Structure 1
């Protein structure tokens, strides 16, 4: 009788235990799924050759950027976002790896980023993210001995996509109208019309399709990189070259040309601002704005005839300073200005920190996410800038030279192989027209900046060697006539 009496009670207890366990699991599963969806999305919008002063929120009264101006009011505004090397492929490799160019080996355009590199998309993918890339890539490189631009119109092999799965990419093109691209299966398609608009439409579609899963999306626009006069007519009509304001460091004999170029440059920028507005509206309508880390920046700037030259690679602010906005309402509640410099290798670890992901040991940049979330400026005295090998638009014969330098919040200090070359107080001389290098009254300050630069070079194991040393070490060949130089090339324009 005792056994018979106890048995039903035991069965009842076991049933209740099993039921409780099942209930717990069913109850816990949604929380697990909910926690996964709480991972922030990351959208990185990258322009090409957009310099820091070419936005309304920076005080530029000529350029029309209403959407970026509004975004700036909701974002961290990086006043001194510095490009470690002001040219396309090296910036991209540094951004994706968090490494300096002499570490990952991409210090020259159209040289390949190693297939086995530890990169942004691989890290996020391992953390459960969907990964997508749209637009210009410029990291596939070309085979040794082939024409330096031979791979620019070819598909990027799957193993060279660095962890990005969704893929609508052109290796390199500066034709922004009806340009072609390749998809995940290497099939060729056309971005109809102005390609930045079609690329943004693809990004919007990607966002909508992946909104229930955490995703990383990089969209890389080609403009406002030259050619300057190929923006849609609607946007070109917004700018009268005669009314364009110029920086005082544009030589008098080039001012008419500068106004023509800058009017076209601004037309591209206003077109991109429209595309940015479309993307921002999508994030709002899809309910994704709060939990999305949105970054807008550029690879490098453009001299636009300041100091009488065009394009990039130079160590002046028009070349090395870029616009940068970061909005993440859920993680950073206080929009504000970040005054201290942030360098290209710092971007990846900072994004990983904001995403709650661990930074791999291969990364050389600094994670500033804790300071950003705490409402502080970043603790960074100086950003390192460099040009290990001059090439293409700033070849040796065009005055190009190897340099290393630093950009602090206030000062620029640069050395070439002969020693101190440039030294500016950017507070009193914002257009960098008075070179203080070697002036006796500034010796103590120059010496202190020299110590900061030496510490940066020591930390990055950079011996600051002549260009040929790096080309030999990595087995690279100079493209076309890049290696031709006058025996006194370092003294040009000294």
Structure 2
């Protein structure tokens, strides 16, 4: 045994001293990874310190170690191939028995990584927000220097120049020696390396480098067979990687294998972004530069000026919208439903995508980034889902990746674009750039089967907000250098109020995110027109909920309360198909509408009469007066409270339940989904919700507490931010409507003033 160990040390030492790129690439990525683990790991998640719950993370150590292994493999594969480019002819000299200068090898790799890092930071400063603000604050000056003065293309241009010089030297040496075969081999390597990099296949990248390194030592026939074999393996890995963000088959049981002909029916495209407030759009404010593309769409569409979501939380809000039912009917009441809560979707409760696919022959799909992680978790009836999943594995991989800051430039596409390599990259809350997911939508648009029902859901406007370059420079004060310069995390336990300058900056970052989404809308509309399908497509632009931005005492975020117009009032824009018979296809409608109206409206446009028991209204059949003839009333409720701490107005006197980190569980029978499964906890969450009924002029709030129920009544016109409560009797008809909705559903019963959920 000692002889083998001595021989190994002798060979390893010789290879190490000679500059073997396999060994030194491994050392390079291992040292960087270790330094990142030591210096860039914390218990801050999205700006929230969860250190007191660190015991919950210890059980995930095996998953974290597995994810760290994946990070090392991706890093090793990429940087080994990168060394082929960056070392120039010195890399080839090693193959002929000459030594590579070790110091130069590391210097070239580090220089390339530094330029990639600079380019990525300039493009996506939010991705590095925790690194600079919470872990390495001493380097904030460097962050500000890059974002203020160095555009992403500058660093990438320097890297291109460096690699071009080195590749030129390499090719010149080959030609000087008359070695045309090596030139061809290099060209093939570049083709496959970049191709696999674009796919995001670490396996493909690895085999590209492996084939390039070993192929010259083989005879011609062996070389051809070897090259074919390893590249086939790489192609297989690339194909598997390209499917990683795409969910096809989680819930395929309700997708029909044969459908009726529907060639004459219009396409339906839902364009949505998380947390859009209707009052922030340019045409609403009368400002041309805020959302120019949405404004152009609105000018060609019917605009609903008083549209409201039923729940200001993403999962239940989309469930309400796509089923046309209230949350207590379909069962998804919060952001963490278990498999029993989700069981009704697609079976007992039909979804819009499922109805259109099965009954009207539509092909269906959804495209999203981190805010759309709800779509792989339930049966929405979509045939194709381009969105990340949300489970324990995703969370651990995401946290591992965020700590490995040296690899983030590669994962974010700083190296001339490139794939995501690891599926959880799309789950990054700081990486909501629409440019990363638009190709998925365009891929779905390229399919020839029509008609389609597609949902595009952007995350760029969800906190912490992630406007990429150049949008993060559009609104904020260039002299502001505080913690909200590029993004703003929401700590649900923090009830402090920022200074006015900080509030202005937070609102500016929100507007910058909205501008980024607006440009995505412009590209989508241009693509529809380019393909000649704009006229035959219903475009419905909306949002799942709004956002509080420190108006009055409303704090920041969404889902915790129903005061003001910020959290439930969202845009609704309907661009009708050209040939659809509607009396008034443009202009505005001021009557109050609900997200429950979307399903019957789309079904009507698709030629399918909505069922009479849907609570929503068909908005293709509007009265001529631009408002309702009756005094319509709509319903909303709060979501789950993530924290049980803080001095917010909505925390005072509410029915309390534990922090979300204490309530959740991981369901191994449901793909390790993070869920709230305890029946008592779920019942308490539902019982504790604030509920609201409003019409065009008034708002009524039901707020249960441990000492009784508090009722609030507000004048929506004179007091839009709900600062001055009115006598409750002025909203008595709204209170009766709340009772009608809840008690009439059969899901609630009355106990004094309280509404209690009925156990089924």
Same fold (TM > 0.5): yes
Task: Using the TM superposition, give the Cα deviation of residue 101 of structure 1 relative to its aligned residue in structure 2, in angstroms.
Answer: 0.5
- The aligned residue for residue 409 of structure 1 is 696
- The aligned residue for residue 22 of structure 2 is none
Is residue 517 of structure 2 the alignment partner of residue 291 of structure 1?
A: no
SS at match of 1:446: helix
- The aligned residue for residue 130 of structure 1 is 363
Q: How many residues align?
A: 406
- The aligned residue for residue 222 of structure 2 is none
Is residue 547 of structure 2 the alignment partner of residue 310 of structure 1?
A: no
Kindly tell me: are residues 70 and 465 of structure 1, through their superposed partners in 2, closer, same or farther at Cα, counting changes over 3 Å? farther
Distance 1:198 1:305 in 2: 30
Kindly tell me: are residues 283 and 140 of structure 1, through their superposed partners in 2, closer, same or farther at Cα, counting changes over 3 Å? closer
Distance 1:315 1:58 in 2: 22
- The aligned residue for residue 221 of structure 1 is 458
Residue of 280, 284, 287 corresponding to 1:54: 280
Kindly tell me: are residues 52 and 431 of structure 1, through their superposed partners in 2, closer, same or farther at Cα, counting changes over 3 Å? same
- The aligned residue for residue 358 of structure 1 is 609
Work out whether residues 703 and 709 of structure 2, in 8 Å CA contact, stay in contact via their aligned partners in 1.
yes
- The aligned residue for residue 330 of structure 1 is 579
SS at match of 2:459: strand
Structure 2 gaps of 5+ residues are 1-259, 403-407, 414-421, 481-495, 655-688
SS at match of 2:533: coil
Task: Using the TM superposition, give the Cα deviation of residue 78 of structure 1 relative to its aligned residue in structure 2, in angstroms.
Answer: 1.2
Kindly tell me: are residues 315 and 62 of structure 1, through their superposed partners in 2, closer, same or farther at Cα, counting changes over 3 Å? farther
Task: Using the TM superposition, give the Cα deviation of residue 330 of structure 1 relative to its aligned residue in structure 2, in angstroms.
Answer: 2.8
Task: Using the TM superposition, give the Cα deviation of residue 307 of structure 1 relative to its aligned residue in structure 2, in angstroms.
Answer: 2.6
Alignment of 1:224-303 (within 5 A): 224-228=461-465, 230-241=466-477, 254-303=499-548
Work out whether residues 414 and 421 of structure 1, in 8 Å CA contact, stay in contact via their aligned partners in 2.
yes
- The aligned residue for residue 449 of structure 1 is 734
Distance 2:604 2:291 in 1: 30
Work out whether residues 369 and 458 of structure 2, in 8 Å CA contact, stay in contact via their aligned partners in 1.
yes
- The aligned residue for residue 430 of structure 1 is 720
Kindly tell me: are residues 194 and 343 of structure 1, through their superposed partners in 2, closer, same or farther at Cα, counting changes over 3 Å? closer
User: Residue deviations 1:185-227, cap 9 Å, x none?
Assistant: xx948669754222223212321323x5101101111121111
Distance 1:49 1:465 in 2: 33
- The aligned residue for residue 156 of structure 1 is 376
Task: Using the TM superposition, give the Cα deviation of residue 242 of structure 1 relative to its aligned residue in structure 2, in angstroms.
Answer: 8.5
User: Residue deviations 1:225-257, cap 9 Å, x none?
Assistant: 1113x311300111134999xxxxxx9964222
Distance 1:52 1:266 in 2: 12
Residue of 285, 307, 313 corresponding to 1:81: 307
Q: CA RMSD in A?
A: 3.7
- The aligned residue for residue 147 of structure 2 is none
Is residue 319 of structure 2 the alignment partner of residue 72 of structure 1?
A: no
Is residue 335 of structure 2 the alignment partner of residue 109 of structure 1?
A: yes
Distance 1:87 1:64 in 2: 25
Work out whether residues 390 and 396 of structure 1, in 8 Å CA contact, stay in contact via their aligned partners in 2.
no
Distance 1:374 1:291 in 2: 24
SS at match of 1:371: coil
Kindly tell me: are residues 206 and 414 of structure 1, through their superposed partners in 2, closer, same or farther at Cα, counting changes over 3 Å? same
Structure 1 gaps of 5+ residues are 1-33, 142-154, 181-186, 245-250, 475-494
Kindly tell me: are residues 139 and 394 of structure 1, through their superposed partners in 2, closer, same or farther at Cα, counting changes over 3 Å? farther
Distance 1:188 1:391 in 2: 29
Alignment of 1:339-354 (within 5 A): 339-354=590-605
Work out whether residues 236 and 267 of structure 1, in 8 Å CA contact, stay in contact via their aligned partners in 2.
yes
Distance 1:121 1:243 in 2: 47
User: Residue deviations 1:170-199, cap 9 Å, x none?
Assistant: 13599999679xxxxxx9486697542222
Work out whether residues 413 and 423 of structure 1, in 8 Å CA contact, stay in contact via their aligned partners in 2.
yes
User: Residue deviations 1:102-136, cap 9 Å, x none?
Assistant: 11111111214225241111101111111111115
Task: Using the TM superposition, give the Cα deviation of residue 368 of structure 1 relative to its aligned residue in structure 2, in angstroms.
Answer: 1.5
Distance 1:395 1:368 in 2: 42
User: Residue deviations 1:418-471, cap 9 Å, x none?
Assistant: 445322212222332222144xxxx3x32233233333334434537799965x
Q: Computing the radius of gyration over CA atoms, which structure comes out larger, 1 or 2?
A: 2
Kindly tell me: are residues 219 and 169 of structure 1, through their superposed partners in 2, closer, same or farther at Cα, counting changes over 3 Å? same
Bigger Cα displacement from structure 2, 393-402 vs 74-83: 393-402
Kindly tell me: are residues 278 and 364 of structure 1, through their superposed partners in 2, closer, same or farther at Cα, counting changes over 3 Å? same
Alignment of 1:366-385 (within 5 A): 366-372=616-622, 377-378=627-628, 381-385=632-636
Work out whether residues 353 and 380 of structure 2, in 8 Å CA contact, stay in contact via their aligned partners in 1.
yes
Distance 2:325 2:646 in 1: 26
Distance 1:420 1:217 in 2: 42
SS at match of 1:283: helix
Work out whether residues 292 and 518 of structure 2, in 8 Å CA contact, stay in contact via their aligned partners in 1.
yes
Which is bigger in relative contact order (C-alpha 8 A, separation at least 6)? Answer: 1
TM-score by length of 1: 0.72
SS at match of 1:364: coil
Work out whether residues 102 and 462 of structure 1, in 8 Å CA contact, stay in contact via their aligned partners in 2.
yes
Work out whether residues 382 and 406 of structure 1, in 8 Å CA contact, stay in contact via their aligned partners in 2.
yes
Is residue 351 of structure 2 the alignment partner of residue 119 of structure 1?
A: yes
Task: Using the TM superposition, give the Cα deviation of residue 393 of structure 1 relative to its aligned residue in structure 2, in angstroms.
Answer: 5.2
Work out whether residues 406 and 414 of structure 1, in 8 Å CA contact, stay in contact via their aligned partners in 2.
yes
Work out whether residues 100 and 460 of structure 1, in 8 Å CA contact, stay in contact via their aligned partners in 2.
no
Distance 2:468 2:371 in 1: 24
Kindly tell me: are residues 396 and 84 of structure 1, through their superposed partners in 2, closer, same or farther at Cα, counting changes over 3 Å? farther
SS at match of 1:318: coil
Kindly tell me: are residues 293 and 45 of structure 1, through their superposed partners in 2, closer, same or farther at Cα, counting changes over 3 Å? same
Distance 1:465 1:310 in 2: 33
Residue of 725, 748, 752 corresponding to 1:463: 748
User: Residue deviations 1:366-406, cap 9 Å, x none?
Assistant: 2324414978545661110123x642157798534422211
Residue of 230, 250, 263 corresponding to 1:37: 263
Bigger Cα displacement from structure 2, 78-87 vs 392-401: 392-401
